[in-house]
Amino acid sequence: MTFPPDAAATPEGQTAPRVAQPGVVIADRYELTAKVGDGGHGTVWRAHDRLLQRDVAVKEVTLPPYLPPDEREQLCDRTLREARAAASLSHASVVRVFDVVTEDGRPWIVMELLKARSLADIISADGPMPPRVVAKIGLSLVSALEAAHEAGIVHRDIKPGNVMISADGRCVLSDFGAAAASASGTGHTAPGMVLGSAHYIAPERAIGGPAEPPSDLFSLGVTLYAALEGRPPFDRGDTTATMHAVVHDPPEAPRNAGPLAPLLAGLLDKDPTQRFTVQHTRNTLTGLLSGPLSADGATGVLPTSGGPISGIPASPGGFPVSAPPTSPAPTSAMPASGAPLGPVSGGPTSGGPVSGAAAPGYPAGYAAATAEPYTPPVDPYYHQTGQPFPQPPKQQKKTGMLLGIGIGVVVLALLGTLGFMMFGGSGEEPPSDDSGDDSQQDAAFETELYKDPDGRFTVEIPKGWKAAQKSNPEQTFLDITDPDNGDRWVRLNVLNEADPKAAVTGGVEGLKSSDKFVSGTLETVESKPAKLGDLKAHQVEYTAERSSDGQKRHAMWLIASDGSTSYHVYLSVPQKTWKDSLPIFENAVKTYKIL
């Protein structure tokens, strides 16, 4: 997420690091060759290890840009310690960490490069998965978590996007960049910050609690639910409502879980003290795979095979995977953690439990799924209203434990997270220049078409205004400035955000506590839904006084999103030029075209 021009700047005395791009060499050894993807905690690059002459994955870990230098250094040190702790894990279902280095004041984690697809991609492309395959995925993941928890490591971000299925059938838990060394005393997130994904975060963490092993088990339960149903159980369309549902609402009864339904109920228990443990989960999955979900006993699933997962080819240009460490030979009841998971092409057959009453063996007190036939949604994160699980008896006895927590607490935690993500400035502020004519009229200004250097969008800007790419330690963005008045500008950015309203309103809330403004002077004029072309958007108008010189500022900030990529249009001008400057913002929004 970006922070607008009036945000905190790069701390004085610090220079902006190099922008990561192909050709950059990290630690005089790892040459970045291509971007693999962006995540909530950084960017993953494909790189070439010049020393060992092999390709690796290198994760550029994102640190909060608003932190003062001493706290930033402490967080960097902690991240390095935790990554090194993750590197100590030797497990077939944990992505291997080869090296941890610091470059340009940021941690970089060097990992094995997998020829694999994420579970999220598989769900999106192929729809819900059969219970037997999900059980085998679950067994691999719980085995990985058991090894991590025994080493004092909590992952903190278990989700389908961090579960990789390789071409040889190996199931791997990746992205320990968010992990916390729970036994080190440094595993608590800073006050007001919640790290993780809203759909998969545990309720105790959504309200600001520490990351502990039970929170990983809850996220595992949500991940397995999503694999079975094609969508997570608490999706409500936006981040705030989803986090409220995580804390307060029971999950919708699964229609496709079969004998896995009781396991899901145990993993999704709101009370971490009552939630299924690693050992309980492992034993349950082992029993199911040797009984109801055995190759001979499973219904509604395809038989297993000894080869790679059927119907899940590696994506084109996939990455080589190192051979997993040697592990004991699997038994018929419990496959080895890195063993192939069996075919998953297609959904459950007609013999599988897809509708009607709850699956056999489901705990007393839980409602059945609705009787309508289940149609896999096109979008795996689509929310379909159905009958929820009633609370199991053990939760009904503790109704005051979590259900009494107000939505305000969740919103505060969420805003803390958004503020954490959004504090980032350019490292320089356009020079103050009050020489601009107060009476200048832009209503009939001439425009020229500007094309983003990265080919992501085009937009009309005032003719003669100067466009310049700038960067802070976390991102690169585009500033378009009035050459006659350096205090009038438009900022454009493209990032990875799904919820435009949460992004922009959270950012403005974060600005209220920023030292860029005189304390207490930021006032929201209007917050409303908007559009950017065909995309859903939200915009906020606000005023404030700048701390450096007391100048009264007026700003308009719009963020649009297609569900994963967000597009920012931001205008910031002196109050006295607002009326004449607003048409510039309106024209930019009107003419903005995504390429």
- Active-site residues, by number, are 157
Confirm whether residue 136 is marked as ligand binding: no
Q: Is the dihedral of CA 311, 315, 320, 324 positive or negative?
A: negative
Query: What is the per-residue DSSP string for 124-161?
Result: HHH-S--HHHHHHHHHHHHHHHHHHHHTTEE----SGG
Measure the CA dihedral 176/182/186/192, to 10°. 80
- With a CB cutoff of 8 Å and minimum separation 6, the contacts of 352 are 130, 131, 256, 258, 299, 300, 301
Length of the chain, please?
Answer: 595
Token code pair at residue 25? 């060499």
Question: Rounded to the nearest 5 degrees, what angle is found at the Cα of 338, between the Cα atoms of 88 and 54?
Answer: 60
Residue 79 to residues 38, 42, 174, 314, Cα–Cα distance (Å): 18, 12, 16, 31
Contact between 186 and 78 under an 8 Å Cβ cutoff? The reply is yes
Tell me how far CA of residue 29 lies from CA of 24, 34, 47, 53, 589, in angstroms: 10, 16, 10, 10, 44
Amino acid identity for residue 451 in this structure: K
Give, as one character, the DSSP assignment of residue 564: S
Beta bridge partners of 476: 471
Determine which helix (DSSP H) or strand (DSSP E) holds 528, and give its type and residue range. Answer: strand 523-532
> N- to C-terminal Cα distance for the chain?
20
* Cα–Cα distance, 497 to 502 (Å, whole number): 9
Question: Which one-letter amino acid corresponds to residue 318?
Answer: G
The alpha carbon of 417 is separated from its chain's Cα centroid by a whole number of angstroms, namely: 12
Reduced 3-state DSSP string for 275-324: CCCHHHHHHHHHHHHHCCCCCCCCCCCCCCCCCCCCCCCCCCCCCCCCCC
3-state secondary structure of 494: strand
Cβ partners under 8 Å of residue 333, min gap 6: 286, 287, 289, 290, 294
Q: Mind giving me the DSSP string for 27-61?
A: TTTEEEEEEEEEETTEEEEEEEETTTTEEEEEEEE
Beta bridge partners of 566: 495, 561
Closest Cα to residue 364, out of 390, 387, 388?
A: 390
- Identify the bridge partners of residue 153 per DSSP, sorted by sequence position: 181
Q: Annotated binding site for ATP: which residue ranges?
A: 59
Q: Annotated binding site: which residue ranges?
A: 59
